[in-house]
Structure 1
Amino acid sequence: MVKTAWVFPGQGSQAIGMGSDLFARPAAQDRLQQAAQILGWSVPEICQSDDDKVSNTLYTQPCLYTVESLLVDELRQQGQQPDLVAGHSLGEYVALYAAGVFEFEAGLRLVQRRAELMSQASDGMMAALIGCDRDQLDQQLQERSDVVLANDNNAGQVVISGTPDGVNAVMAAIKSKRAIPLNVSGAFHSPMMADAAAAFQPLLDAVTFQSATVPVLSNVDPTPTVEGAVLKDRLIRQMTGSVRWREISLQLPDEGIERVVEVGPGKVLTGLIKRTCSGIALENVSSLADLAAE
């Protein structure tokens, strides 16, 4: 058997119409009804709204979690099971669901609260740096206390997060092919999210984390574990900690992974892994048509 990892994208991979073919499946109806009761709105309606409501953080995260969970359920119905899982930021919640750490409902309630808190964050700024001088960036970050590395995606793509003055200063100080301010409400994955993380903690504390059925690589610590308590501790730190996706990618071949399936809309994660690791077969499952090809 080919050793396979499932990886789950986060915010930024959403698209109008995502999940449309899944929503019509009889097997999805109970799940979608359950989601509507928790959220107070319809995931299919938001995903298919032409005014791009799905890109509003308040809606994006619950919609991605629901769509990706439905894809997990379909893969399971086909008898498929990963040997390892990982998710990028919000995607880590789907990875934990896929690994049996918590049930769909518990995960959705966590994601709903996370989305509320992150959408309310009004301070701070984030920017993507493409093709930057990494040594120069590291030096800048060491010299400043108001900017951190939020997403270490691969050697050629990172995201910084912090105060607007700090982020703009770093963008101006280092060489990069492109520097792109991100359209987000706050400085996610930075210490500036400490208040949001503290508000999130009581709900997270109330959820029981089971031992994972397969190892999980977490954003803040990309070493594999199945221990529920460890996975919860890592998730607690995720809101203020960096997404260490480059290290997750490098860990895959070390764990003997030969095939990676990105479960969810878009091809962001397989693109990042392709630029970091050679020799791993990469696939994408975002629709029923993709599932039929599996």
Structure 2
Amino acid sequence: MTKTAWIFPGQGSQAVGMGADLSEHPLAAARFDTATQVLGWSVPEICHGDEAQLGRTLYTQPCLYVVESILAEIMRDRGHDAPALVAGHSLGEYVALYVAGVFDFKTGLELVKRRAELMDGAAGGQMAALIGFDRDGLAAAIEQNPDVVLANDNSRAQVVISGTPDAVEAILANVKAKRAVKLNVSGAFHSPMMAEAAAEFQQVLDRVPFRDAAIPVLSNTDPTPATDAAQLKERLARQMTGSVRWREIGEQLPECGIEAAIEVGPGKVLSGLLKRSGLSLQQVGSLADLGSA
């Protein structure tokens, strides 16, 4: 049997129309109803509505959590073999923890709702993606500038930096890259600038009981397999201010004997980041995709 990992994308993978073919599925309909009760608004309406609204953190994160969770549940219901490992990029880690049985769907959504509110309310920071960059030069520049950090280490060819606008501008001006793109986000996510929001979120997280995972989880802040409830919660608590170590997660998968990865959610962002990993890669972004996964 092929050892497979299920991976779950985060903010940036959303697309208008995602989850469009789920509404008529009984399991999905029940999950959408629960989501409306928790959120106070309709996930399908936001997913099928205005692109700018869907792209706002407040809505993006809950919508991704709900759509990805539903797809994973339907995969299991249709008899797909359980994954040997799960991992998610930033917001996607919450889906990974749900799929691993650490908490139930509603509890995970309540956490994501509060996370999205706090991150949406963050201000004063900037993030930028660098593609085809000088890694040594970037590391040296970051070391010399205390107001910017490596927020997302996505692959050897792509990273995201996060910090004050002036610090980010300074890095972009001094580090060679084939392409640099400022991200349309409200704050400096995955940086110390999120400390206040993280402290407030910690109070919410402390009240939520975690169970030991039934499937090992690779966390963003510590990309080694873990199942212990306390360890997984501690890792998640560090996520809002810590770096997303996705490059290391990608390197860890083959070392754990993983031969294939299924990206569960909209788009192919994570598959693109893993294209040189040697893994067999598939995507499940809709019900129509399930026949080939």
Structure-1-length-normalised TM-score: 0.98
CA–CA separation in structure 1 for the residues paired with 2:54 and 2:22: 16
Q: Paired residue for 2:112?
A: 111
| CA deviation string 1:9-31 (max 9, x = no partner) | 00000000000101221221211
Q: Paired residue for 2:135?
A: 134
Amino acid of the residue matched to residue 166 of structure 1? A
Q: Paired residue for 1:101?
A: 102
CA–CA separation in structure 2 for the residues paired with 1:47 and 1:67: 9
Structure 1 residues 42-51 or 164-173, which shifts more?
42-51
**What are the residue-to-residue correspondences of 1:145-294 with 2, within 5 Å?**
145-275=146-276, 277-278=277-278, 280-294=279-293
Q: Percent identity, aligned pairs only?
A: 64
Q: Paired residue for 1:6?
A: 6
The 8 Å contact of residues 15 and 51 in structure 2, kept in 1 or not, is answered as: no
CA–CA separation in structure 2 for the residues paired with 1:51 and 1:3: 37
Which runs of 5 or more residues in structure 1 are unaligned? none
CA–CA separation in structure 2 for the residues paired with 1:23 and 1:56: 22
Structure 1 residues 225-234 or 74-83, which shifts more?
74-83
CA–CA separation in structure 2 for the residues paired with 1:51 and 1:268: 18
CA–CA separation in structure 2 for the residues paired with 1:108 and 1:256: 31
Q: Displacement, 1:51?
A: 4.7
The 8 Å contact of residues 16 and 52 in structure 1, kept in 2 or not, is answered as: no
Aligned CA RMSD, in angstroms, stands at 0.8
Q: Paired residue for 1:82?
A: 83
Q: Does 1:21 align with 2:24?
A: no
| CA deviation string 1:82-112 (max 9, x = no partner) | 1100000000000000100000000000000
| CA deviation string 1:54-98 (max 9, x = no partner) | 111100000000000000110110122111000000000000001
Amino acid of the residue matched to residue 29 of structure 1? A
Amino acid of the residue matched to residue 69 of structure 1? S
The 8 Å contact of residues 68 and 94 in structure 1, kept in 2 or not, is answered as: yes
